Amino acid sequence: MCLAIPSKIVKIENNMGIIDVEGVTRETNLILIEDARVGDYVIVHAGFAIRKIDESEALESLKILRKVAAMEFDG
């Protein structure tokens, strides 16, 4: 299962992308999506980017997720 956290592609090399999730960078495999470009937002599932999503949609849901996370950490 995936958390559906939108992640921004900051670098691409040979079908592998470096993604940025809230300042944390990770590697993700890009072969399951079409025409991945630096700057795209993707949903990552088990190490693979499985979908591209629209930037405004991504930013909106990041905002929500940030709120939810803040709630959780607040206890």
Partner 1 sequence: MAVKSMVPECIARKFRVNGIVQGVGFRPFVYGLANRYRLKGEIANTSSGVSLHVEGFREDIESFGRDLIQSCPPLARITDLVTSDEPLKNFRKFTIAKSQHQKTVSTLISPDVSICADCFKELFDPTDRRYRYPFINCTNCGPRYTIIDHIPYDRPNTSMRKFKMCRSCQSEYDDPGNRRFHAQPNACAVCGPQVTLYDRAGKKMDAPNPVEHAAALIKEGYLLAVKGLGGFHIAADAENDEAVTRLRQRKLREEKPLALMSTDLSDIAVYAHVDAEEENLLTSPQRPIVLLRKRIPNPLSQQVSPRNTYFGVMLPYTPLHYQILNCGFTALVMTSGNRSEEPIAIDNDDAFARLADIADYFLTHDREIYLRSDDSIVKRTAGDTRFMRRSRGFVPAPVFLKCRVPPVLACGAEQKNTVCLTKGNQAFLSQHIGDLENLAAYDFFKLTIVHMQRILDIHPEILVCDLHPDYLSTRYVQEQEKGQKLQVQHHHAHVVSCMSENGLEGEVIGLAFDGTGYGTDGSIWGGEILIAGPAGFKRAASLSTVSLPAGASAIKEPWKMAVSYLHAAFGEALWNLDLPLFKAIDENRIVRIIEMITKKINSPATSSLGRLFDGVAAIAGIRTHVFFEGQAAMELEMAASEKTPVFYDYEWKSEEIYQVMVQPIIRAVVRDVQEGLPLAEISARFHLTLIRMFTDLCGAIRADSGLNRVALSGGVFQNAILLSGLEQALSHKGFDVYSHRQVPANDGGISLGQAVIAAAVLGG
Q: Which helix (H) or strand (E) holds 49?
A: strand 48-53
Number of residues engaging partner 1 in binding (CB under 8 A): 37
Q: Is 58 in the site for partner 1 (CB under 8 A)?
A: yes
Q: Is 8 exposed, middle or buried (0-12, 13-18, 19+ CB in 10 A)?
A: buried
User: Which parts of 16-55 interact with partner 1 (CB under 8 A)?
Assistant: 16, 26-27, 29, 31-32, 34-35, 43, 45-48, 50-51, 53-54
Position among 5, 12, 18, 21 found at the interface with partner 1 (CB under 8 A):
5
β-bridge mates for residue 17, sequence order = 12, 28
Q: How far is the CB of 37 from partner 1 (least distance, A)?
A: 14
